[in-house]
Amino acid sequence: MKTFPISLLLLLSFSPSYGQKAFEFWPGATYDSKIPTLHQILGYDPGDKVTNHAGLLRYLEALSSAAPTHLKVFDYGESWEGRKLIYAAIGSEANIRKLAEIKNAIQRVADPRKTPEADARKLIAALPAVVWLSYGVHGNEISSPDAALLTAYHLLAARNDKIVDEVLSKVVVLIDPTQNPDGRDRFVNYFEQARGLTPDASPSAAEHNEPWPGGRVNHYLFDLNRDWIGLTQPEILNQVKALREWLPLVYVDLHEMGADATYFFTPESDPYNPHLTPNQRTSLTLFGKNNSKWFDKYGFDYFTREEYDAFYPGYGASWPFYYGALSMTYEQASVRGLVVRRSDETLLTFRDTVRHHFVASISTLETAAVNREKLLNDFYAYRVSAIEEGGKEPVKEYILPRGRDASATDKLAGILMEHGIEVNRAKAPFKSGEKEYAAGTYVVPMAQPAKRFIRTLLDPETKMDDKFVAAEEARRKLKERTEIYDVTAWSLPLLFNVEAIASSTVSTGAFEPATPARIVPGRLHGSTASVAYLVP
Ligand SMILES: [Zn+2]
């Protein structure tokens, strides 16, 4: 009761600021009136309402109609509940005209076995840096999809803006406004039903307390940000397909965390996955430093090197690392509504959170534009060194015999191929060392661009840094909290209970590229049953 008058005052002094037109998301920007604002299409200003999935689509389509030479919308699938999964490609007129050509050139740079260095250099000289910004994987982390719209608008409408001009000419920006549209709409529908005429800042107000299961998860209650190894859900499986077409150099997954926090960006906290290269780790700091430049300029609070580690490869913000990209999570303190009172009695508004994700998005694009050539060269070098290491290291290939559980082995091989890993299948029995393997056995050669991903997925153990483990043990003795974010083990042969032999020699025999199929159709042996069928 004591705090009531204070909070009432804060609320009263806050309320009139809704709809206040003087609020500037990017101070000093001048915008072309031919590009429609959010207000013109959806009837409110950015941050004044939480945009539902239909609104996200409608606005991006309106931008595309107004500037078809600079923005194109692509479908990449459908959620379980039938909502469209899309991304918008934004860039200069020249780049948007030749998107297919750009994709093609990227695929050539991605395979040094077919593209020698001199050819790669030529391709790189003409290629833009592709950056994929992924918003809203957790449907109740609400600010990032609205920031996606603002980012697209700013890129199309800002005039006489050096950063925007440089981004448009040097970067192809791919914006996925919401990875989890079913969860997003579950949140928005509840919020709209629970809210009153004025937003309630109290964390215990109905509008801040979404009922189970909440908007975080998708239709089948999957946390999509833990589905990047298994690829069990259409939202992530289809996103991976789209990412494999583009192989973006930079991928950002924009999230939210508790209301009392501030903002997080790279560098991550320890431990890092040992299969990330030293160059990837140093390049991440370019992005962190540029973000901190803008956050300092605008006075936004943030932190780095705490909480969010880079060990588990199955988050959205980790998967792209393993084809050679730079991959990052950005985390904004969440309002879960339009305004919330934090435990220190300050107010956090939805509009501010949208602005922070928007500024971080533009800052990321600026960094990618400035470092275009370096990022492309690093990507090529990553793929070259992966193949070289795979040829030199003691483990030359993984052999997956189908003996223990044929269907589980097929499924594992199918998933590896969906990740872009090359898998071969023996056409006839073959010998490796002293052992003989049957026809149908899978062989995963290590001398390929995806080598580091194969190692972290198939090795029985991904080693954690010794110093970090020692520090964890010391914390445990003192009964202090662990500093590991969550998942620490994921070896797929163990999860699937299939045999995986790490072989020190390259098998010779008759092999063909396996075809991606998680479920290999069964066959009927003998004639039609009169009593029952036996399924091994
Ligand atoms: Zn999240």
Kindly give the distance from the C-alpha atom of residue 236 to the centroid of ligand 1, in angstroms, as a whole number: 14
Rounded distance between C-alpha atoms, residue 20 and residue 23, angstroms? 6
DSSP state of 303: B
The alpha carbon of 29 is separated from its chain's Cα centroid by a whole number of angstroms, namely 29
- Ligand 1 center from residue 112 Cα (angstroms): 35
**182 in Cβ contact with 223 (< 8 Å):** no
At 159, give phi and psi (nearest 5°). -115, 150
Predicted confidence at residue 9, as pLDDT, reads 43
CB 507 within 8 A of CB 436: no
Tell me how far the alpha carbon of residue 328 lies from the centroid of ligand 1, in angstroms.
12
Structure tokens at 32: 């072309």
Ligand 1 centroid – CA 356 distance (Å): 16
The pLDDT, as a whole number, for residue 148 is 98
What's the CA-to-centroid distance between 75 and ligand 1, angstroms?
Answer: 23
List the structure tokens of 500.
């995986």
CA of 389 to the centre of ligand 1 (A): 34
DSSP state of 463: P
Q: 353 alpha carbon to ligand 1 midpoint, in Å?
A: 14
CA distances from residue 393 to 390, 424, 461, 500, 505 in whole angstroms, order as listed: 6, 20, 16, 17, 10
Confidence (pLDDT) at 203: 95
Rounded to the nearest angstrom, the distance between the alpha carbon of 258 and the centre of ligand 1 is 10
pLDDT at 98 over 80: yes
- Among 151, 146, 150, 115, which residue's Cα sits nearest to residue 132? 151
Whole-angstrom distance, CA of residue 485 vs CA of residue 271: 9
Residue with tokens 């520090």: 471
Ligand 1 centroid to Cα of residue 93, in Å, is 34
Per-residue pLDDT band for 474 (boundaries 50, 70, 90) equals: very high
Whole-number pLDDT of residue 20: 43
Query: Ligand 1 center to residue 135 CA distance, Å?
Result: 10
In whole angstroms, what is the distance from residue 28 CA to residue 168 CA? 19
C-alpha of residue 178 to centroid of ligand 1, in Å: 12
Distance 384 CA to ligand 1 centre (A): 33
Cα–Cα distances in angstroms (integers) from residue 390 to residues 131, 312, 421, in the given order: 28, 21, 13
Distance CA 348, CA 339 (A): 6
Find residue 416's DSSP bridge partners.
none
Q: Number of H helices and number of E strands within the chain? A: 17, 20
Which of 119-133, 325-339, 493-507, 512-526 is predicted least confidently? 512-526
Phi, psi of 88 (to 5 degrees): -105, 135
CA of 331 to the centre of ligand 1 (A): 8
**Of the candidates 50, 16, 73, which has an alpha carbon nearest to the alpha carbon of residue 191?**
50
Residue 338: is its pLDDT beyond 80? yes
Report CA(333)–ligand 1 centroid distance (Å): 11
Answer yes or no: is pLDDT of 3 > 70. Answer: no
d(CA 268, CA 57): 32
Q: What is the pLDDT of residues 345-357, one digit of tens each?
A: 999 999 999 999 9
What is the arithmetic mean of pLDDT over 384-391? 98
Q: Tell me phi and psi for residue 307, to 5 degrees.
A: 75, -60
- State mean pLDDT over 271-277: 98
DSSP per-residue letters across 473-524: HHHHHTTPPP---S-----HHHHHT---EEESS---S-EEEPP--SSPPP--
d(CA 160, CA 445): 51
Q: What is the pLDDT of residue 19?
A: 40
Whether the per-residue pLDDT at 207 is higher than 90: the answer is yes
On the CB side of 431, how many CA atoms lie within 13 Å of its CA? 3
pLDDT at 233: 98
Using the mean position of ligand 1's atoms as its centre, give its distance from the Cα of residue 138 in Å: 5
516 falls in which pLDDT band (50, 70, 90)? confident
pLDDT at residue 520 greater than cutoff 80:
no
Q: How much is the mean pLDDT over the chain?
A: 95
Q: What is the Å distance from ligand 1's center to 257 Cα?
A: 7
End-to-end CA distance of the chain: 68
Task: Calculate how far, in angstroms, residue 330's C-alpha sits from the geometric centre of ligand 1.
Answer: 9
**Secondary structure element (H or E) that encloses residue 157, with its range:** helix 143-157
**For the chain, percent of residues with pLDDT exceeding 90:** 92
Rounded distance from Cα 354 to ligand 1 centre (Å): 15
For range 185-213, the mean pLDDT: 96
The per-residue pLDDT for 417 is: 97
Q: How confident is the model at residue 122 (pLDDT cuts 50, 70, 90)?
A: very high
Q: Given CA atoms 380, 163, 73, 189 in this order, what sign does their dihedral have?
A: positive
The residue with greater pLDDT, 19 or 463, is 463
CA of 265 to the centre of ligand 1 (A): 13
pTM recorded for the entire structure: 0.94
Overall average pLDDT of the 56-80 stretch: 98
Distance 140 CA to ligand 1 centre (A): 8
Contact 316, 252 (CB under 8 A): no
What spacing in Å lies between the alpha carbon of 76 and ligand 1's midpoint? 21
In the block, residue with structure tokens 């030293």: 278
The rounded Å distance from CA 100 to ligand 1 centre is 32
For 110, 197, 214, the CA distances from 222, given in Å and listed in that order, are 32, 33, 11
Name the residue with tokens 């397909």: 241
More confident residue, 23 or 296: 296
Residue with tokens 């990740």: 419
- Residue range 4-42, pLDDT digits in tens: 444 444 444 444 344 444 579 999 999 999 999 999 999
Ligand 1: centre distance to CA 147 (Å): 15
Q: Is the sign of the CA dihedral 349, 353, 354, 359 positive or negative?
A: positive
Task: Quick: pLDDT tens for 408-448.
Answer: 999 999 999 999 999 999 999 999 988 999 999 999 999 99
At residue 304, does pLDDT exceed 50? yes
